[in-house]
């Protein structure tokens, strides 16, 4: 994974952590036999560099929490993660 210097926008959500990651999680949804797909942008911050597996697990945990708690998902018959894309990796120490 290639790391980039943190922009001001990324610094805002990184909570002063050294590394910040943007991940796009693709969800399959079904309601009354109608299929749809939703993309959720997930931001992960860490003081340690995360492996791809750790990043996938963190993003999955965040999205599963959203699915369990957010009202927008309660009306679906089925919601499942079908894809994860790494959209950006940032290191606060890079200039």
- pLDDT tens across 18-35, in order? 999 999 999 999 999 999
| pTM as predicted | 0.87
Contact assessment for residue 10 and residue 87, using Cβ atoms and an 8 Å cutoff:
no
Decide: residue 14, CB within 10 A, 0-12 exposed, 13-18 middle, 19+ buried. Answer: buried
At residue 12, φ and ψ (nearest 5 deg) are -60, -40
- pLDDT tens across 32-77, in order? 999 999 999 999 999 999 999 999 999 999 999 999 998 889 889 9
Decide: residue 3, CB within 10 A, 0-12 exposed, 13-18 middle, 19+ buried. Answer: middle
């Amino acid at each position: 994974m290639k790391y980039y210097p943190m922009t001001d926008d990324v610094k805002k959500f990184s909570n002063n952590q050294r590394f910040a990651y943007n991940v796009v999680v693709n969800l399959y949804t079904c309601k009354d036999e109608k299929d749809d797909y939703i993309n959720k942008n997930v931001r992960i911050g860490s003081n340690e560099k995360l492996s791809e597996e750790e990043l996938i697990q963190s993003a999955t945990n965040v999205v599963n929490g959203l699915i369990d708690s957010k009202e927008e998902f309660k009306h679906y018959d089925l919601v499942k993660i079908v894809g994860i894309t790494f959209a950006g990796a940032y290191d606060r120490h890079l200039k």
